[in-house]
Each structure stands twice: as structure tokens, then as C-alpha cells.
Structure 1
Amino acid sequence: MNIQTIQDRAIALKNNRAFELFVVGVIIISALLVGAKTYAIPDAVSQMIVWLDVGITFLFLFEIIVRFIAEPNKKRFFHNGWNVFDTLVVVVSLIPIDNSDMALVGRLVRVFRVLRMVSIIPELRMLLNSLVRALPQLGYVVLLMFIIFYIYAAIGATFFAPINRELWGDITISMLTLFRVMTFEDWTDVMYETMKVYPLSWSFYLSFIFFTAFAFLNMVIGIVVNVLEDEHARERAEKDEEEGNASMNDLRDEIQELKSMITRLEQRGSSNQ
């Protein structure tokens, strides 16, 4: 069996839907085992979980090897951040550190194995990539929200501190109170308390909720949706480019075959003469 045959089989296995679902199932079982270890379980069950964990680790190692073999350009395999993450998680899981001072690290790595679901499922990977790409734009939205929080917290601390210092004693406590208002956690109790002294203070809370819970939330959703659409468009363009390259390669192969046939016919004709 030559190298090309091994690579073709690895590509076929990697693109196999059943194999992908099997890996997803193994990741889910791995997550359940991490949760099971947090309970008080008998020693026999604990030992069985340990052996299952070892088996899952080797299955992950096999899956990483298959993906590496299926990669046409081996040097570019580790240019993908998810491939690096998956490899590190699997390699660290193979190190026997459960009974050492690094046991906590081993447990944390096993928890992070759940994130491999993102690297396996393209849709989840696209969502996470879109969120990461949206972070620069979301940073300005967060900055503007902080400015709104600061202004309203200063106003609240100035007017409402004599009413309830536990909620409005200084600007930092006021910002925590405003976060409570923004998340609608018993915010009406806070409002009614200040309305006893300032009857029009309801406008303070309603305007703050409008700016933060409604306006800014819609801005965040709009940014994420736009970035997600751009990510879809980029993926479609890459897919079209790959299909175009594949078509060009097929056409080039056919032309090469035609040239070979013509050459053979010419050689046969000259030999007959």
C-alpha cells in the first residue's frame, strides 16, 4: 500500500459523515465522564471511567492522525489554530499526570476536550470565528456602553445616595446597581424606592434601560449578524474557488491525456509508414 492510497483512505474517512458523528459522540461521552467524576461514585465505577477515559484519549489521537494524513500540505496542518488546540489537548491527555502535582492541569485539559466539538462541527466553528471577528467592532460598543453606565452611575450616586447608600453609595456601587437594572433583576424595587423621594426618577431608569437593554443589544446583534453573513460569503467564495481549481485540474488532466493519445497515434502512424 503506497502513501497516496493511505492518504486517499484518510481523506475518505475524514469526510465520512458517520465517522464525524462517531467523533462527536465520543466527545459527548468524554464530557459526561468529566461530569461523572464530580459525584461520589463507587471505586469499581471510578476505575471503569478511568479506562474509558484512556480509550477516548487514544480515539482522539487516532482522529488527529487521520486528519494529519488527510492534509495534502502537511506543513500547513498546524497553521490552523484548531488543529494546534486539538493536538495539544490530546498530547497533554496522554501524559500520565493524574497522580502527580499536575493532576489539576490534567483535569482541566479533559474539561477543554469538550471544546473539540467546535473544531469538529463546521457550523460551530463558523459561529465562533464570526464572534472573534466581531470583537473589534464590539469593543467600541462596549466602550460606548461604559460611558453611558458611567454617566448614569454618577447621576445616581449624586441624587440617590442619601436614599440608599448600599445601592448608590459611590460610583462603582451605582454601576453594579445599574447592571442589576439592565438585567431586570428586581429593578422595579430600586425604582420605587427612589420614586418616593423623586417622583420623576422613573425617567432615569426607563431611559437607561432603553439605551442599554434595547439599543445596545440590537447593535451587538446587528454587528454579529453582519460578521456572520460576511463569514458565510467568504466560505462560499473559498468553496467556489476550490471547486474551480478542481475543475481546472480535471481539465488539465484531460488535456494531458488527449496529448498523450495524440502522441501515441502519431508514433503509431510514423511506425506504419
Structure 2
Amino acid sequence: MANNHERTSTNAGSLKTIIRQLVEHRWFQLTIIGIIVLNGLIIITETYYTGNRLSMILDKIIVWIFVIEMLLKLIGLGIKRYFSDRWNLFDFTIVAGSLIFYSTPFVSVLRLIRVLRLIRMIPAIPAMRKIIDSLIKSIPALTGILGLTLLIFSIYAIIGTTFFRDVLPYEFFGSFHTSLFTLMQVVTFESWASQVARPVINEIPWAWTYFISFIIIGALVILNLVVAVILSYLSQEDDVIRKEQIDRLYTENQELKRDIQEIKRLLMERNKL
């Protein structure tokens, strides 16, 4: 009985190892990426051919492929390891939502979930996952920049409302919130000169200093601050990966040294005999 139990445990362990190697294999990941792309193409096709029966059948097949992938990962990685990765948790939510809402009258929710399935491309591609992880890690640092941005926008919105509300129609500088929206237009460089700046400067000549200073501070300086913070976290991610690689090489080197010493010891003992 004990031998049968040990044999069963060994078979289960080997099966789990095989499944883990399968889900971590490069070709398995590439296959899932291809299915996600196919899913996106089907959704795009449905925008032209609504209610196409073939696309609906293919969509159901893709959902069940994702279910099988999720089950394989749960078996191969284990429940604890699977859910310890937030991207796996996101995948689980999307797949579970697809199953729950597929046979319900909530068509709009189902369509939203089907579109969200495209986001699964992010964890499937390491380069995308690295960028998103760096963005998430940089959020605490970006909150300070966000506060500075709100302060600068508020100051310039108050100035604009005070001095320019009678020059342009109400929707530009008629109130605080309309001024904020106008400043968003200015900072994106969308028709800001011809539609906003020049009409104001024609009536109030000194207004050029208002717009130029806002563009320099609001667009160039703050944007560069955001880019600098994100790039710093991207480089930190590279440093972490590099450190892990160095630690792994150091561990392997130490193991190799121990193996060589053991072989040397055995050879010396053999020569003595």
C-alpha cells in the first residue's frame, strides 16, 4: 500500500512538472498570443458584420481555450503560485467573467469583457509586462507630480478666468472648469494658437506671456518630469534583473567549485588506495 501511495505521488508530481514545463514553454506562450490576436481580429470583424454566426462560434472556442489554459496553469504552477501573480489574477477574472456573462442578457457587459480579453496580450509579452509593471511602481512617485500639475493648472485657470473671460466665448475662459478644459487643449497643442491664443493676444497684447509660460511649465517641464520618473523605474527593473542574474551566476559558480573540490577529493583518495 505504501509503495502504491508513493508511486501515485511520484506520478502526480511528474505530471505537475510536465504541465508546468508546458505552460512555461516559449511555444505555448506564442500560441496563446496568437489566439489573443485572433480574438481581437474576430471582435474587429464583428464591428463590420454584426451577429455573424461563424465569429460567435470561434469566440466560444477561444473562450474554452482560455479556460483550458487557465486550468493547466492552476495545475502546473499550483493555486498559491498562480494567484500570487497579479497578472494571473487578472486573467482569471477575465476568463471567469466571460463564462459567467456568456449566457446572460447583459450583452454590453459581455462585449466589454471580450474587449478586455485583448489586455491579456500585456502579461503574455514580457516587454509589455515590464513597461506596465514599471508604470504601476512609479505611481507613488507620480502622485507628487500630479499634485504639482493640479496646482499649476488651477493657478493658470484662475488667471485665465479673471482676465480673458470677456474676450472669448464662455466655453473657453468663462468659468474655472471651462478654463481648465481650455488649458488641456493648450497643453496638447491642439489648435491652441489659432483658436485660443491669437484671439486673446489681439485684444490683450501681454497675454502671450501667459500662454508661453504655461506651455513651458505645463507641457515641457511636467511632461519631462513624468518621463524621467518612468524611465528611472524602468532602469531599476533592469538593475533588479541584472542583480538576479549575477546572484544566480554566483550561486552556480559556488556549486561548481564545490563539485570540483569533491571530485578532487575523490581522486586524491583513489590515488592513495
What range is the shorter-chain TM-score in? 0.7 to 0.9
**Could you tell me how far 1:249 is from its partner in structure 2?**
8.0
Q: How many angstroms apart in 1 are the aligned matches of 2:15 and 2:230?
A: 41
Q: Deviation string for 1:10-31 (max 9, x for gaps)?
A: 2332232222111101001111
Letter of the 2:114 partner, please give it: R
SS at match of 2:116: helix
Match among 16, 19, 35 for residue 10 of structure 1: 19
Aligned counterpart for 2:54 among listed residues 28, 48, 51:
48
SS of residue paired to 1:38:
helix
Aligned CA distance change for structure 1 residues 69 and 246 (closer, same or farther; 3 Å): farther
RMSD: 2.8
Is structure 2 residue 92 aligned with structure 1 residue 83?
A: no
Give, in whole Å, the separation in 2 of the partners of 1:144 and 1:224: 17
Tell me the distance in 1 between the aligned counterparts of 2:72 and 2:102.
Answer: 27
| Structure 1 counterpart SS, 2:232 | helix
Out of 204, 208, 217, which is 1:211 matched to?
217
CA shift for structure 1 position 48: 1.3
Relative to structure 1, the CA distance from residue 246 to residue 28 in structure 2 (aligned partners, 3 Å threshold; closer, same or farther) is farther
State yes or no: 1:106 paired with 2:115: no
Tell me, in whole angstroms, the C-alpha distance in 2 between the residues paired with 1:247 and 1:12: 25
Q: Say whether residues 1:164 and 2:168 are aligned partners.
A: yes
Structure 1 partner of 2:35:
26
Distance verdict in 2 for CA 1:239–1:30, change over 3 Å:
farther
Is 1:187 aligned to 2:192, yes or no? yes
Q: Distance in 1 between matches of 2:183 and 2:132?
A: 29
Of 236-245 and 28-37, deviating more is: 236-245
Cα drift, residue 241 of structure 1: 4.5
How far off its partner does 1:36 sit?
Answer: 2.1
User: Does the alignment pair 1:226 with 2:232?
Assistant: yes
Unaligned stretches of 5+ in structure 1? 266-273
Question: What's the counterpart of residue 115 of structure 1?
Answer: 119
Partner of 1:271: none
TM-score scaled by length of structure 2: 0.82
Identity of matched residues, %: 31
Q: Unmatched 5+ residue regions in structure 2?
A: 1-9
